[in-house]
Every structure is written in structure tokens, then in C-alpha cells.
Amino acid sequence: MRRGKRNLLETTDLPIIETTIEEGTIPYFIIDDKYGIACDDKCEMICRKKKSNRTIKDEEGNPIYIETYYVWESFCYVGTFSECINRYLLIKDRDIKKERLVKTKDYGKLIEIQNEIKCIVSKALDTNGVNSQFLSATSIIDDKAKLKEELDCVNSLKEDIEKEYKSFMEMIKDKRKIIIKNTEPTKHRTKKEEE
């Protein structure tokens, strides 16, 4: 017999209504069906999804039915997005090994677990997957940053070319003056023109 608090769904006779409502710290990046990445004012965090229940009552306070919903709770404050992915890999690796590797000597299962975790992360980072909006927005931001760098480079190149153009035009004017001065006959000049 189990000790402690029993689940509400086990002890009730009320009808149970399943919902897809999600509450709590909703992640902006979904890794798998149980974990996601969210952020607050200070840093990025890993969130875990749990199923919860609540009793819905009428105006008089009498219970009508039990509603199930999902709560995203902060699981682990990490810092950056890449650190969240690395921490998720550690958590998932530990959880899967705890479930499947009880007193076994099969190294093939370890490799299988590693490949499964890599597959989960690659699905999360797939641009056509669950996080397509997030990844397309970040790729647009990256593209914008690259275009801004290229534009800054083009603008500095334009300024350098304009400076070289001005110096080249000054050199041409100076050379033209020398050529004109050397090709003019000297006998028609007055003393003031030579100075």
C-alpha cells in the first residue's frame, strides 16, 4: 500500500475533462514533449512540463468536474541558450540511463541512448519542426546582422574610394598645372606671371 497523498484522479467520482491548457513559465523553445527553454529578466532556464488537475466548482461552491491541464515549471536556471542545451543533454542522458540500464553490460544500449538524444536535439533544432518560428526569426536576425556588417564594410570602402578619388583629382590638377607651365612659351610671360 502506498503511503502519502493520493492522486485526485484516483479518489474522485467526478467526470474528468482533458484539456491542452498550458500555464506557468511557457518556454519559447521546445526541446521535446517534456522539456523546453524559457527566459526571465536574468537568465535562460530549462522548464519541465507536468500534468496537473484542478476541481472546477459552480457558483455555489459545489464541485462539477475535474479539469486536467499542463504546467511548465522552472526546473534549472542555467544562463545561456547553449548551456541550456548542454544541461538538457546531461539530464536526458541520466534519465534514459536510469530507466533502461539497470544491471546491464551491453554497450550497444549506451550508443543507442546517445543516438536517441542526438535525434531529439536535432529535431528540436530543425527549421521545419516545432520551433520553426523561433528558428526562422533567429535566422532572420542573423541575416540582418550579416547584412549590416556587409553594409558597414561597403560604406567604409565607399569613404576610402572617395578619399582616393579626391587625392587623385588633386594630383591631376597639380600635374596639369606643371604641364601647362612647361608647355607655354616663356618669352610672352611677364615677371608677374612667372611668380
74-103, pLDDT tens digit by residue?
Answer: 877 887 777 888 888 888 777 776 666 655
Residues 88 and 164 reside in one and the same domain = no
Phi, psi of 36 (to 5 degrees): -150, 175
2 inside domain: no
Cα dihedral angle (182, 188, 193, 195), rounded to 10 degrees?
Answer: 70
Q: Total domain count for the chain?
A: 2
87 inside domain: yes
- Domain-ending residue, one of 110, 125, 140: 125
Radius of gyration from C-alpha coordinates of the chain: 36
**Segments forming the whole domain that contains residue 103:** 10-125
191 inside domain: no
Residues 64 and 159 reside in one and the same domain = no
Number of neighbouring beta carbons within 10 Å of residue 163: 10
Residues 39 and 113 reside in one and the same domain = yes
Residues 78 and 172 reside in one and the same domain = no
143 inside domain: no
Residues 27 and 99 reside in one and the same domain = yes
The crossing angle, in degrees rounded to 10, of helices 81-100 and 107-124 is 140
Residues 75 and 171 reside in one and the same domain = no
Residues 17 and 94 reside in one and the same domain = yes
Residues 97 and 29 reside in one and the same domain = yes
How far from the centroid of its chain's Cα atoms is residue 110's Cα?
A: 29
Residues 111 and 15 reside in one and the same domain = yes
Is residue 76 left, alpha or beta, with left meaning phi > 0 and alpha meaning psi from -120 to 50?
A: beta
State the pLDDT at residue 1.
Answer: 42
Residues 21 and 95 reside in one and the same domain = yes
The pLDDT tens digits of the residues spanning 142-186 come to 677 788 888 888 888 888 888 998 999 999 888 888 877 777 666
193 inside domain: no
Report the alpha-carbon distance of residue 95 to residue 101 in Å, rounded.
Answer: 10
118 inside domain: yes
Residues 83 and 159 reside in one and the same domain = no
Report the length, in residues, of the chain: 195
* Pairing assessment for the beta strands 63-79 and 16-24 based on DSSP bridges: parallel
Residues 165 and 98 reside in one and the same domain = no
136 inside domain: no
The mean pLDDT of 131-152, rounded to a whole number, is: 72
177 inside domain: yes
State the pLDDT at residue 66.
Answer: 84
Burial of 178 per CB tally in 10 Å (0-12, 13-18, 19+): exposed
State the pLDDT at residue 156.
Answer: 87
The mean pLDDT of 40-61, rounded to a whole number, is: 84
Instruction: Give yes or no for residue 52 having a pLDDT over 80.
Output: yes
The pLDDT tens digits of the residues spanning 66-78 come to 888 888 888 778 8
